[in-house]
Amino acid sequence: MKASHALILLIAITAVTAIKYEAEHAHVIGGAVQINDNKVFVKYSNTGDKIIFTINAVKNGPHTMLLNYNANSNTLMEVQVNGHQQEPLKLYHSSNNQKHVIELRVGINSLVLKMSMGEILNLDSITVQDAVPTAKRGATITYTEYEAEDAVTNGLIIGPERKFMTLPSEASGRRAVQLVDKSKYVEFTTKDISNAIVVRFSIPDTPDGKGNVARLSVLADSKFITDLTVTSKWSWVYGAYPFSKRPSDGSPHHFYDEARALFNTTLPKGTKIRLVPSSDIVYTIDVIDMYRVEPPYTQPTTGYVSIADYGADASGKSDSTKSFQSAIADAKSKGANVWIPKGTFSVKERFVLDQITIRGAGPWHSTVVASEPHGVGFFADWAPKGSSKVGLYDFAIIGDTNYRDDQQVDSGMGGAYSDSIIQNVWIEHTKCGLWLDGPFHDLHIVGITVRNVYADGVNFHKGVTNSVVEQSIFRNLGDDGLAMWSDQLVNQNNVFKFNTIQVPGFANGIAIYGGDSNQATDNYVADTVCEGGGLQASNRFGSTLLAGTTLLARSTLDRCGAPNRFNLEHNGAMWFWPSDGEMTNLVNVTDIELNDSSFAGITFWGGHVTKLYFENVNINKAPYAWEANSVSGQVYAINVVAKNIEKTGIHTCTSPDSFKIVDVKGNSGWNSTSCN
């Protein structure tokens, strides 16, 4: 009996590892989503039409994919995985399904299926064997996170505290551990195999703002593994927005930075990792991420020139700017792409790319470092010229920017990238991660990490269409984590989905400023600090007014909402502000969890709203469920359930005649109203 049960279980486990991906949920470029007989599919009708799928795998190697389709003629498809061309795929007119083998790697893969010959192809879905599900909400995180305050420590736990300009207010979960001398430590036991570490820390600044430098030792089961260099050079900003690097300006914040190291050994699950200071200054340890980094990827056998052949120095000691420039120019003239081998390459300029791929051995192995402020960046040309068909894969960009100067061009990436893919790139210490000025179209960003920057994580700025950011990780930003800003030119049809944003530091987790039919879905946002909420949709900053349907769906916001710097108002975990004009088009807010919000769950500021729908929203612990400040119009509530409301259901001084939350059905927990 037992054995047969085990067998059934085994079969069940084997069977569930095939995952079906609906074509209409992928990033559709050129094709059109259609419905026929209740079946939703994507219709390809031109060569060049393509779909980009995201597939999570746990092993390197061949995976069988089954396609469900119908075709008007025999069709030839180009197949690209993580930017690598693979065996083309033939789909026969006489059949409705076809098997094909694709080569995947561990982690998130991008799969492009592009029609290169054929008439009409209706693709319903693909099913990939041995693929694994991605996280339900937020990015699929491939490391394990350990909060210092949950570890074993003889240090001092600080927080919880959400007051702006305090150390715990910028810590994840709003608590951290302080180690005040060399006898103090933080120790935790690993839950997974690991070979690399990231420590999020803060150490005090120096009076001249240049920053302290110290070490933090990493021990594994009492054995020395490595020393991390920790510095306050890339943290601590001061004074008035957009903040300076002068301590005399007062009002410090942006306290944290991160140090990372790849070990020369792999540690088993159950290893005791201990962090020990090397100086008697105060170390604040917030969170530790333990990674299991894949070995370096190797240079593709064809189609790439390596910067090593142009004199690049993998030790980072001498400057490699010219090597990059020559490699890029040479590759362009040959129709080839550029390979960044394992190593640290120091540069002092940014590179402007068009119709080329730059690929590294992985963001832990191939690192491009700025040797001076504003000295790095992988840019597209600016519109109207713009760039297209750029691929950026598998490397790190580490800048030398330590405050925000909006006169400088010093984001990790910028410009107008049409029909391009940015995947598995890690960006730190630049102004924004990616500040992307449109008009451009069809950009696909997947699996990137942006941390410790001085402005936005990603900004789709004016005229960006049909572009996606997904499966990406953002922490410690200086402005919105993910923003779409329809500044004069409309952003249309873009999606931010399955992203994780932690401690944006300033402004919002995710913000949609104007634009037409944009979406933020399946995201996770935690710990907004100042002047922002987890999610915002608004008509602000001179944006084109929200049009079409704006969808904010299936997301969780923990400890979001924040005080405003200038007055007594606060931002809710979600907030809406029709500052530049009325919000009259449908804003659909559905399936949202708001946990432990700092102020109201949902806030409205000023202006006029008429068509905001809130459906299946849980507000778990907040001072208020709703807050309405001098707003007029009405919003609709369906299954908005509030629990553990500390003050009143609705905080408003606006008369119910001018602003109304229409209680459609299924609502509870927010009957009471207060004005002060």
Ligand X SMILES: *[C@@H]1O[C@H](CO)[C@@H](O)[C@H](O)[C@H]1NC(C)=O
Binding site for ligand X (CB under 6 A): 224-226, 264, 551, 553, 558, 588, 590, 593, 595, 613, 618, 620, 649, 663, 667-671
Q: Give the pairing of strands 434-437 and 458-461.
A: parallel
Which residue lies nearer to ligand X by CB, 47 or 618?
Answer: 618
In the complex, what is the shortest distance from the CB of residue 642 to ligand X, in angstroms, rounded to a whole number? 7
Which residue lies nearer to ligand X by CB, 630 or 668?
Answer: 668
Which residue lies nearer to ligand X by CB, 106 or 553?
Answer: 553
In the complex, what is the shortest distance from the CB of residue 159 to ligand X, in angstroms, rounded to a whole number? 16
In the complex, what is the shortest distance from the CB of residue 100 to ligand X, in angstroms, rounded to a whole number? 31
In the complex, what is the shortest distance from the CB of residue 556 to ligand X, in angstroms, rounded to a whole number? 6
In the complex, what is the shortest distance from the CB of residue 179 to ligand X, in angstroms, rounded to a whole number? 21
- In this structure, are residues 173 and 147 in contact, taking their beta carbons and an 8 Å threshold? yes
Q: Which helix (H) or strand (E) holds 324?
A: helix 321-334
- In this structure, are residues 198 and 291 in contact, taking their beta carbons and an 8 Å threshold? yes
In the complex, what is the shortest distance from the CB of residue 625 to ligand X, in angstroms, rounded to a whole number? 8
Which residue lies nearer to ligand X by CB, 74 or 590?
Answer: 590
Q: What is the DSSP string of 431-447?
A: S-SEEEESSEE-EEEES
Q: Give the pairing of strands 304-306 and 464-465.
A: unpaired
Rounded CA gap, 371 and 183, in Å?
35
In the complex, what is the shortest distance from the CB of residue 611 to ligand X, in angstroms, rounded to a whole number? 9
Under 8 Å CB-to-CB from 435, ≥6 apart: which residues? Answer: 411, 413, 414, 455, 456, 459, 461
In the complex, what is the shortest distance from the CB of residue 259 to ligand X, in angstroms, rounded to a whole number? 15
Which residue lies nearer to ligand X by CB, 169 or 667?
Answer: 667
Inter-CA distances, 523 with 17, 67, 461, 500, 534, Å: 24, 28, 20, 6, 10
Rounded CA gap, 475 and 482, in Å?
11
Count the Cβ atoms, other than its own, within 10 Å of residue 557.
Answer: 28
Q: Which helix (H) or strand (E) holds 108?
A: strand 107-117
In the complex, what is the shortest distance from the CB of residue 600 to ligand X, in angstroms, rounded to a whole number? 15
Which residue lies nearer to ligand X by CB, 606 or 669?
Answer: 669
Residue 208 burial class via C-beta count within 10 angstroms: exposed 0-12, middle 13-18, buried 19 and up: exposed
Which residue lies nearer to ligand X by CB, 320 or 502?
Answer: 502
Two tokens, residue 175: 């608590």
Which residue lies nearer to ligand X by CB, 514 or 649?
Answer: 649
- In this structure, are residues 439 and 493 in contact, taking their beta carbons and an 8 Å threshold? no
In the complex, what is the shortest distance from the CB of residue 363 to ligand X, in angstroms, rounded to a whole number? 21
Q: Which helix (H) or strand (E) holds 4?
A: helix 2-16
Give how far the C-alpha of residue 157 lies from the chain's centroid of Cα atoms, to the nearest Å: 29
- In this structure, are residues 332 and 325 in contact, taking their beta carbons and an 8 Å threshold? no
Closest to 492 (Cα-Cα) out of 522, 445, 534, 460: 460
Closest to 347 (Cα-Cα) out of 277, 396, 385: 396
Which residue lies nearer to ligand X by CB, 381 or 593?
Answer: 593
Residue 543 burial class via C-beta count within 10 angstroms: exposed 0-12, middle 13-18, buried 19 and up: buried
Which residue lies nearer to ligand X by CB, 402 or 550?
Answer: 550
Rounded CA gap, 625 and 643, in Å?
9
Which residue lies nearer to ligand X by CB, 98 or 598?
Answer: 598
Which residue lies nearer to ligand X by CB, 63 or 559?
Answer: 559
Q: Which residues pair with 413 in a beta bridge?
A: 434
In the complex, what is the shortest distance from the CB of residue 126 to ligand X, in angstroms, rounded to a whole number? 22
Under 8 Å CB-to-CB from 25, ≥6 apart: which residues? Answer: none
Rounded CA gap, 140 and 456, in Å?
21
Which residue lies nearer to ligand X by CB, 197 or 390?
Answer: 197
In the complex, what is the shortest distance from the CB of residue 372 to ligand X, in angstroms, rounded to a whole number? 30
Rounded CA gap, 221 and 651, in Å?
53
